[in-house]
Amino acid sequence: MFVFLCAGCGARLTIPLSQIALPAHAHQKYGNGIQLPVLMESGTFAVDPEPWGPPWRRWEEIHPEEATARGVYAPAFALSDGAPGAVVIAPGDASGTVLIPDRRAGGYCCGLDGADGPNVACVECSLPVASRIDDCSLWQATWLAPDAVRRVPVDGAGAAPLSWSELMEAGKATPPFEPIATWGSRMGAGHWSNYWWSWSPQWEAAAGQALAHLLAASEGQPVTVPGGLAGRIFQRALDALLPAGVPARCAALAGPRLPAPGKDVSILLVPSHPQTGKTWSPAVPAPYLVPLPFGVWLWLAFPEPDLPVPTSGTLPTGALRDDFDAPAPCPRHLFRADPEVFRHTLVRLPAVRNPRLREILDNLTHHMRAGLF
């Protein structure tokens, strides 16, 4: 457990927090005018190892050798020249901070987006220490500036990360679709207006990340994934982006409590640990491991029944009703991986230097118009 202090005066800026892995959807922008929830679970924080935020430099201003040294192997729109190591927390876990009045207008549409730099200051010394993000289509979060805060351990021993066995008992699966609300709409008991059922933004981000790895693992050959939900998530894009023919490379789900994959499987879709970010590894090494966020992997590996939804009306707190028997509606459109998470991941894989993958990257806008992303 840690708390974060102001680097200027030492004032305490957060409650005690435990570290988890940076979510795949941390920098996702989803749709237009969408009301996204809080990114981080209360009591946790994550660290972005890469620079993020202003100042930005356009790709044309960056020498290829510098980009390669930063682990970027293909053109990106821009790279941040900010300090690496920004810390993201739930907004409610911050304390002793205040919005900076002249930075409050620095938003994209309906709120703050942090584009102008830190918009939150330490109450004690007025040092800018964080960026509050609450704009539409962005995940609600507070990002602590790495050069403006200090992390110190809380007295007492912290809990060790859960083992994979413990995680399988306590971990939560992420449903593949959910109600999406527009900005200003209300969702709760009796309020189901201005929303629709859609594929989960978290799943679209996870698929964008995983699809980049699947294409890198293909080495230009077709790839098949398991049927069912995994097929709905990946196969349409794989078939469109990779050449047809045989032999195809086989991908399969692997991880805790799953049987060992067959000998013909060369690509494994495996979970990443939600606390450490480390990828699960099989006893017999596989040529290529494709990481999936644990909650997404858990639902793919051990699908749960469709969640019921209420029909209408309100009930007193704690009361139960007997009309929660209709399954949640399925999304009306085919699944599409998040294009920007896909781009962000692919340009950081050395395999993107392959002409076929570079062509996919260069034609990403076309693939988006075709409905693959």
- Kindly report whether the global pTM for this prediction surpasses the value 0.75: yes
> 């790839």: which residue's tokens?
223
Three-class SS state of 171? coil
Query: Using CA atoms, how far apart are residues 236 and 227, in angstroms rounded to an integer?
Result: 11
Three-class SS state of 140? strand
Compute the average pLDDT of residues 92-120.
82
pLDDT value for 241: 96
Compute the average pLDDT of residues 22-43.
94
pLDDT, averaged across the chain: 89
Residue 313 backbone zone (phi > 0: left; psi -120 to 50: alpha; other: beta): left
Tens digit of pLDDT for each residue in 249-286?
999 999 999 999 888 999 999 999 999 999 999 988 88
Percent helix / strand / coil, the chain, rounded to 5? 25, 25, 50
CA 178 vs. chain centroid, Å, equals 16
Tens digit of pLDDT for each residue in 142-191?
999 999 999 999 876 567 899 999 999 998 999 999 888 886 655 554 44
Neighbours of 106 (CB within 10 A): 18
Three-class SS state of 365? helix
Pairing of strands 34-35, 18-19: unpaired
